[in-house]
Structures are given as C-alpha cells and as structure tokens.
Structure 1
Amino acid sequence: MAAATAVGDMPRLNQALNQGLDAGLTLSEAKEVLVQMYAYTGFPRSLNALGELMKVADARKQRGIQDAPGREPGPVPTGQQLLELGTANQTKLVGAPVRGALFAFSPIIDEYLKSHLFGAMFARDNLDWQSRELATVGALSALPGVESQLQSHVGFSLNVGLTAAQLRQLADDLAQRGHPEAAARARTAIAQVEAAKK
C-alpha cells in the first residue's frame, strides 16, 4: 500500500488495499497508513490514496463485504506536551536524542518533525509503531533519492522490534508486487544498516 501510494500507482494500490482488507486489515488501520504517508510522500499522494481507499471500501460494501471498521485513535496531546512527546518518541525510535547541523540550520523542521510527525502521528494508537515503520520503509523504498531517510527508517524498524528478516520479506513483497527498484533499494538499505551495526 505504501509503495503504491508513494509512486501514485492507483491500480496497484487498489489491489493492495483489497488484499489487505481481505487479510483482516481494518478500515481504520488502512486509513492510518495512508494518512501517515503524507509525511513521507506529500499531501497529494496521501489524499489520492485515501480517495482510492474510499472507492475500494464502497465497492466492497456494494458486493456485500463488511470490512471491520477498527478503532479510532485515542486522544493526542497538544502544544508543549506534544513537542515533548514527539521528542521522546523520536529518541526511542532513533535510540538517542537527535541533533545535527541541519536542525541548527532550520530549527523549524526539527520542531515539525518532533511535534507533528513523531508527536501527533506516532501518538495515534490505532496503528502500532512496527506497522508504521513497515509502511514508511515501503514508501521510502519506492522513492529514489531518499536513501538516507530509508536507511534511518530501516534502523528505526530494528529499534522497534522488527527483524532484518522481516524487512527482507518486505523487500521480497515489493518485488513480487511489481516494485523491483523499490525492492533493490530496500535490500541495499538493510545491508548497509546491518553492516554499520557490526
């Protein structure tokens, strides 16, 4: 779902959405993955993907398929509490506090990452962090030119309990679903992160 969203491939997204729902993914979980994609693929791709999910859900309902709605996320803090939560979440994902020249150069991007992405998005508890990271790795694998972020998220995935074998399975799935370049980028990133940990 995430890779098809990233590249705007609506036919593959339609197929992935149907397969996910057939396998027990709830509508809330599917929506959450597609909402999160705005942070990695932009609002236009996320909005288009949500529109496709709406069409898929309507078509399935017309065929008599009742997909589980799932649960909505619990409350999310606001203001300074949200920034503090996002900083803590980012530190857990990365394994250490995040600092660097880029954030000194543009402090507002640091605030946006911490308060909105790692705060508001990762505080939404209707999708676990492992699922969020799988979706993110899938999306970033599909996008050329974001290898640094892909490597970071492969590392985050390992920090939240996913294994390298599970990430390689994701790469295999990308290849089988018509995303061979994404699969190659994922495999390269996994190998680089594993090599750096040795």
Structure 2
Amino acid sequence: MTDLNPRQQATAAIAAFTAIGRMPQLRDALTGGLDAGLSVNQIKEILVQMYAYAGFPRSLNALGAFMALLEQRRADGITDPAGDQPRPLAAGTDMRKLGTDNQTRLSGAPVTGPLFEFAPAIDQFLKTHLFGDIFARDNLDWPSREIATVAALATLDGVESQLQSHFGIALNTGLTATHLRGLVTVVRDRVGHAQGDRAAGILDRVLAG
C-alpha cells in the first residue's frame, strides 16, 4: 500500500526505469502514467529531468521510447492530452540568481562547501541549469520533480549521499514521511527489494535526524 496517488506512483516508476534503462518496464510505466492522467508534456518533463541524474543516454532512450509509444497509441485511436507547456520566464532573468534562490528554498539553507570551492563549475551548473533552467519549468510541480529524482536515485548504486539529500528536499516541497515511505514501496515493488530496502534505510536516517 502507498499514500502516493496514481499519478505520483506512475511518476516514480517512469523515473526509476528511465534511470536504470529497463525499457520494457519503462514502456509499461509510460502507459500507466498516461492512463493515470499524466499529460504528454508532464511525462516529457520527467524524462528530460532524468538526464541530470542518470545521464543523457538514459534520458534520450526514454524519450525515444515515449515517442514510439505515442505513435502507437495514435495509430490505435488513442488521443492523449498534451498538457501545458512551461510558462516563459521574464526577459533578462538572471538564471544564476533564480537557480540559487530555488536551490536554497528546496534545500532549506544556502548550499555551500569545499566541493564547490574545489570545482566551481559544477556549482554553477547546478545553480544555473538544474535549479534554474529545469526547476523553473512550471508544468511539473516541485513535489513531482522530487518524486522523480528520489525514485531515480534509489535505483542507482553509489549515490546514497545524494539520495539522502533529496529525501530532505522532498520533505521541504511538502511531501510527508508517509508519502516517502510510499515512494520506497513503489521502488521495492516495481524495481527490486534490494533497492527498496537500501532506500528505506536512508529514509529512516533522514527522518530520525
């Protein structure tokens, strides 16, 4: 059982299977997302965002699979709602400032540290592009973006620190501990017990701390 609604469960499954490249399961998850009421543009947003966490190859492959699925559904007489495009930002928007503000709101405090002093370029890319360009796109809300991010990270090896951070960010978007336990259940049931158990242990530490 999970307290995530069907759209949120579908978001988690789509992100998880994109991140690990399980294409047959991804196709099923994409179909489930459309049937649950996710719009075409919302699913595109999930798949595009995944490049920041799982790499361009996974994201591009997933977009190709989604495009093929939509073509098949159109041939079968199914019309899926396109949904909203993100609203354009004001001309002259300072993307570094916008991204820094978004990152601070999501994290609950300014994000600094020796790593970003060691490699300032990655700090710029995170603030300007990930938390600026991507998180400013408002046709997918922040809780949904964090559901996708946590689900993807939960399937990947060696990213426990990032998963822990994003559990905290997810709570800052308004998701509850119950939502996140439900998200872990989706990962365990859809992807595998090992991934779900690992994520559950990290979530327990976040909630305890």
Give the TM interval when normalised to the shorter protein. Answer: over 0.9
Question: Is 1:141 the counterpart of 2:154 in the alignment?
Answer: yes
Is the Cα contact below 8 Å between 1:175 and 1:182 reproduced in 2? yes
Equivalents in 2 of 1:110, 1:80: separation in Å? Answer: 19
Moved more, 56-65 or 76-85: 76-85
Who is 2:22 aligned against?
A: 9
Which stretches of structure 1, 4 residues or longer, exceed 2 Å deviation after superposition? 76-80, 178-182
Equivalents in 1 of 2:160, 2:41: separation in Å? Answer: 29
Matches within 5 A, 1:42-61: 42-61=55-74
The aligned amino acid for 1:142 is: T
Q: Higher relative CO (CA 8 A, sep ≥ 6), structure 1 or 2?
A: 2
Matches within 5 A, 1:3-152: 3-76=16-89, 81-152=94-165
Shift of 1:185: 2.4
Indicate how the Cα distance of structure 1 residues 77 and 143 shifts in structure 2: closer, same or farther if over 3 A, else same. Answer: farther
Instruction: Kindly provide the CA deviation profile for residues 17-44 of structure 1, in whole angstroms up to 9, marking residues without a partner as x.
Output: 0001001000000000000000000000
Equivalents in 1 of 2:92, 2:131: separation in Å? Answer: 14
The aligned amino acid for 1:40 is: Y
Equivalents in 2 of 1:2, 1:179: separation in Å? Answer: 14
Identity of aligned residues (%): 56
Indicate how the Cα distance of structure 1 residues 77 and 107 shifts in structure 2: closer, same or farther if over 3 A, else same. Answer: farther
Stretches of structure 1 that go unaligned for 5 or more consecutive residues are none
- Using structure 2 for the length normalisation, give the TM-score: 0.91
Give me the CA root mean square deviation. Answer: 1.3
Stretches of structure 2 that go unaligned for 5 or more consecutive residues are 1-13
Equivalents in 1 of 2:138, 2:193: separation in Å? Answer: 32
- Secondary structure, aligned partner of 1:60: helix
Count how many residue pairs are aligned between Structure 1 and Structure 2.
Answer: 196
- Using structure 1 for the length normalisation, give the TM-score: 0.96
Moved more, 16-25 or 68-77: 68-77
